[in-house]
Amino acid sequence: MFAIGSHAELKSSIDSIGACIALFELDMEQTIRLISANRHYEEIGGMPVEEMIGGKLNEIFPRYLETQITEQIALCIENQLPSEDEFVIDREGQIRWWRIISSPVFSKLGRVKRIMNTCIEITEKKQLELSLESSHSRFEAVVATAYDGIVSIDEDRTIKLINQAGLDIFGYTRAELVGQLLEQLLPQRYRDKHQAYVATFAESPVHSRPMKSRAAVRGLRKDGSEFPVEVTISKIKVGPNLEMTAVVRDISERSRLIEELQKAAIEDGLTGIYNRRHLERIIRRELLRCERFGGDMALILFDIDRFKQINDSLGHEAGDLALQEITQLAQESIRDVDVFGRWGGDEFLVILPGTKAEDAATWADRLRRQIEGHPLEYNQQPIPLRCSFGVADNHKGLVSVDLFVSLADQALYQAKQAGRNMVCCHPGAETEVE
């Protein structure tokens, strides 16, 4: 979505995002420029968005910030993977901390020229960490009213203090936890490693350590249920003794949201099968596998004949029912190694590793006949289902996703022109099934 387009073209989309977002591009001169940003990004750039658009990093940010952001974006482009870092911004004596995630924006050809920055303010969390290091008395005052759970242990991992938020998170009373080992709050499989981790941190010169968001950190409630947590640990001196403090946040809701977003990123909302974006990734991966190790691979692109008539005469609910029914029939027919998804509209795509076009055409015709013999009813009105199929394979050593799909699309068009409700292959296969 953001791989191409100017700020004027992207403004409405990027402004609709609630988070602080900016889009950078590496131009022909290998200079990083700001392409687009929403109004929230003014808190990072310190000026109106319109004044920042098209500017270089050194024209937008002070030198200390420009250097750090340049390094992060360069790392993201080089590795073609998201890069995350924390930034502190000092403007007129006001210090604010931000977690900035740079993510590559892939074009249809898989190239990365643009980087999207998502900025999350973490000032409150940082201020809490600093206050915990100041003194034990101040620590106790903050602990009593903190929204996050706070647990303090000694060098023997014995719980010395836990606030009410922590008790609520884990489901214990204070009497049940104070004086007990911290491992009581961890799943059994993590306890041995955690003992070594605490000992290492106690001897480390580092005074605080955030657990990376990608780390799998789990807590254990009194009722035996596990849940994901985000943890920041600090150590302080209480007299001659060392104590370690953990700020614990239950991120169950966030994890569920991330899972839902990850699911939405690869699945079609109506049918529950893979969407086009994820299918393109799989085709690209399979083509690379074929290029490296050899072997066959076929694609089948098919759609519903006269689908518009179904929508126009019976309504979109009838059209949705037809899509769902064909999805079920196809899923029952494919092998475990095959991949099936919705390409868009009423078009479906099947990826068949280790398959020649001739065999793919035979499978497609079997599905065609099955669909034809499976009429539907909607509001007591019959819905005749017919589908046309286009088949292509990698017989010419294809390495382009777009070209591969285009061959299957050409074969599908040939089936439409020949009268619909049939299977056609691209010319290289010299196979046609009616």
In this structure, are 89 and 152 located in the same domain? no
- Taking each helix axis from N to C end, the angle separating 357-372 and 316-333, rounded to the nearest 10 degrees, works out to 130
Residue 199 lies in a domain: yes
pLDDT tens per residue, range 101-149: 999 988 777 677 888 999 999 998 888 777 766 655 665 666 677 788 8
Q: Which residues of 80-94 are buried (b: 16+ CB within 10 A; e: fewer)?
A: eeebbeebebeeeee
Comparing 41-45, 46-50, 239-243, 310-314, which segment has the lowest mean pLDDT? 239-243
In this structure, are 111 and 131 located in the same domain? no
**Phi, psi for residue 84 in degrees, rounded to 5:** -125, 140
Asked whether the beta carbons of 172 and 220 are under 8 A apart, the reply is no
The pLDDT of 183-210, averaged and rounded, is 82
DSSP state of 159: E
Nearest to 245 by CA among 123, 148, 124, 121: 148
In this structure, are 73 and 218 located in the same domain? no
Specify which residues 239 forms β-bridges with.
none
Cα gap 155→407, rounded to integer Å: 66
The pLDDT of 298-308, averaged and rounded, is 96
Number of DSSP helices (H) and strands (E) in the chain, helices first? 16, 19
Give the 3-state secondary structure of residue 373: coil
pLDDT at 432 > cutoff 50: no
pLDDT at 355 > cutoff 90: yes
Asked whether the beta carbons of 162 and 244 are under 8 A apart, the reply is no
In this structure, are 277 and 245 located in the same domain? no
In this structure, are 18 and 32 located in the same domain? yes
Domain boundary residue, one of 221, 251, 281: 251
Domain boundary residue, one of 251, 284, 313: 251
Residue 262 lies in a domain: no
Residue 326: predicted pLDDT: 95
The pLDDT of 6-19, averaged and rounded, is 88
Cα gap 54→70, rounded to integer Å: 16
Residue 260 lies in a domain: no
Count CB atoms within 10 A of the CB of residue 135.
13
The pLDDT of 312-341, averaged and rounded, is 94
The pLDDT of 82-110, averaged and rounded, is 86
Cα gap 423→431, rounded to integer Å: 9
Number of residues that this document lists for the chain: 434
Domain boundary residue, one of 121, 150, 171: 121
Residue 214: predicted pLDDT: 42
The pLDDT of 181-208, averaged and rounded, is 84
Residue 408: predicted pLDDT: 95
In this structure, are 163 and 96 located in the same domain? no
In this structure, are 18 and 150 located in the same domain? no
The pLDDT of 23-45, averaged and rounded, is 89
276 CB burial (10 A radius; 0-12, 13-18, 19+): middle
pLDDT at 207 > cutoff 70: yes
The pLDDT of 28-51, averaged and rounded, is 89
The pLDDT of 60-66, averaged and rounded, is 88
In this structure, are 333 and 413 located in the same domain? yes
Residue 259 lies in a domain: no
**Phi, psi for residue 169 in degrees, rounded to 5:** -65, -45
- Note every long-range contact of 290-295, with CB atoms under 8 Å and residues 24 or more positions apart, other chains counting: 290/394, 291/397, 291/399, 295/353, 295/354
pTM above 0.75? Answer: no
Residue 430: predicted pLDDT: 42
Number of domains in the chain: 3
Q: How confident is the model at residue 428 (pLDDT cuts 50, 70, 90)?
A: low
Residue 114 lies in a domain: yes
In this structure, are 284 and 404 located in the same domain? yes
Residue 257 lies in a domain: no
Asked whether the beta carbons of 83 and 102 are under 8 A apart, the reply is yes
Q: How far is CA 211 from CA 155, 215, 232, 237, 354, in A?
A: 19, 7, 6, 21, 43
pLDDT at 379 > cutoff 60: yes
Residue 272: predicted pLDDT: 92
Spell out where 241-380 has E strands: 241-250, 297-304, 339-344, 347-353, 376-378
Q: Which domain holds residue 288?
A: 267-433
Residue 2 lies in a domain: no
The pLDDT of 163-168, averaged and rounded, is 90
Residue 135: predicted pLDDT: 56
Q: Of 74-88, 251-265, 291-305, which has the strongest mean pLDDT?
A: 291-305
Asked whether the beta carbons of 307 and 322 are under 8 A apart, the reply is yes
pLDDT at 429 > cutoff 60: no
Cα gap 170→86, rounded to integer Å: 29
**Cα atoms in the 13 Å half-sphere on the side-chain side of 406:** 6
Q: Of 177-186, 197-206, 256-265, which has the strongest mean pLDDT?
A: 177-186
**Phi, psi for residue 188 in degrees, rounded to 5:** -55, -40
Please report, for the domain that includes residue 198, its CATH number: 3.30.450.20
Residue 78: predicted pLDDT: 85
Residue 63 lies in a domain: yes
Averaged pLDDT of the chain: 87
Query: Within the chain, what is the greatest distance between any pair of CA atoms?
Result: 88
Residue 210: predicted pLDDT: 65
In this structure, are 240 and 273 located in the same domain? no
Cα gap 131→234, rounded to integer Å: 11
In this structure, are 244 and 131 located in the same domain? yes
Asked whether the beta carbons of 375 and 382 are under 8 A apart, the reply is yes
Residue 1: predicted pLDDT: 67
Residue 134: predicted pLDDT: 60
Please report, for the domain that includes residue 295, its CATH number: 3.30.70.270
pLDDT at 323 > cutoff 60: yes
In this structure, are 25 and 147 located in the same domain? no
**Which of 162 and 204 is assigned the larger pLDDT?**
162
The pLDDT of 6-24, averaged and rounded, is 89
Nearest to 296 by CA among 306, 305, 307, 287: 287
